[in-house]
Amino acid sequence: MKTIYDVAIIGGGPAAYTAAIYTARAALKTVLLTGDIPGGQLLLTSEVENFPGFKDGILGPELMESMKAQAERFGTELMTEFVRGVKPGEPHSLILDKSTLKAHSVIVATGASAIWLNLPNEQRLMGKGITSCATCDGYFFKDKTVVVVGGGDSAMEEALTLTAFASKIYVVHRRDTLRASKIMQDRAIKHPKIEFIWNTEVTDVFGEAMVSGVELTDVMTHEKRKLDCDGLFVAIGHIPASGFLKGVLDLDPKGYIKTTHNVITKVPGIFAAGDVADPHYRQAITAAGDGCRAALEVERYLQNLAEAPARKT
């Protein structure tokens, strides 16, 4: 007889691993479907210094490996499978590449990926001065010169966050006006550490061991010049990994899963945790917190599900 899991968790980052630790430790039959590269966005982070419990910091991949080992310790079954679709029901059906998996509950923790610039040297210098999170990495750029790319609220938030650390912040925008809200524009434009470079794109990034500068290209004249800097913060948006859930769950215009009480979706027994449902914070610790919440909601849901027949009689 084919296995029916108590909970299937989709994802491979802090939200997914935390959820698995909680559900497996609660003696729920747990399967974690990570895709082919478990670890989430923290695999792109060299050092994590703001995750509690590691006074000297910890490498992102090392943190993910520790979470994975902890989940496995409690009996989580790991599968490097991609989920292509979900059919709600009792049990729910998860469509994989060559098979279907069934579970009484599902936690979606697939995360969101930063939109990058696709520069020639971008991937080579990823985590070596290139990042998409000022809250995560701003501390490493104390008294440094950095470049922020973008013109929306996210870019203004990145730039303003960096003013606590960097000595100079250049905001590079390909237009001559910002998309950000008026209040965010005013704060950034008035800040003495922030300088705007208009009608310009970053077309390459330089450096060996670390970022040392960027190539700027004027969108009108196509003239190129080099700007020395110590870091590049890309703030042009994120894409939540929720496409496989269209028509199943409610998504906002950007693709983030709509939830109530942080993790509850419109479909009974399906929960969402971490960046796939969080367009605001995008932190490892908030994702882990969501994973915990989702796991606890799963326990309550399954308990109610088990008691339902008794209540009907």
- Residues annotated as catalytic (active site), given as ranges: 133, 136-137
- Give the position of tokens 């003696």: 27
CA distances from 139 to 11, 49, 133 (A): 28, 9, 11
For residues 174 and 201, the answer to whether their CB atoms sit within 8 Å is yes
The first and second tokens of residue 261, run together, are 């009480």
162 with 171: CB under 8 angstroms?
no
Cα 193 to Cα 311: distance, rounded to the nearest angstrom:
64
Distance CA 288, CA 272 (A): 12
Whether 168 and 228 have beta carbons less than 8 Å apart is answered as no
Look up residue 52 and give its two tokens: 């509690």
Judge contact between 214 and 129, C-beta under 8 A: no
Angle between helices 14-25 and 284-312 (to 10 degrees): 40
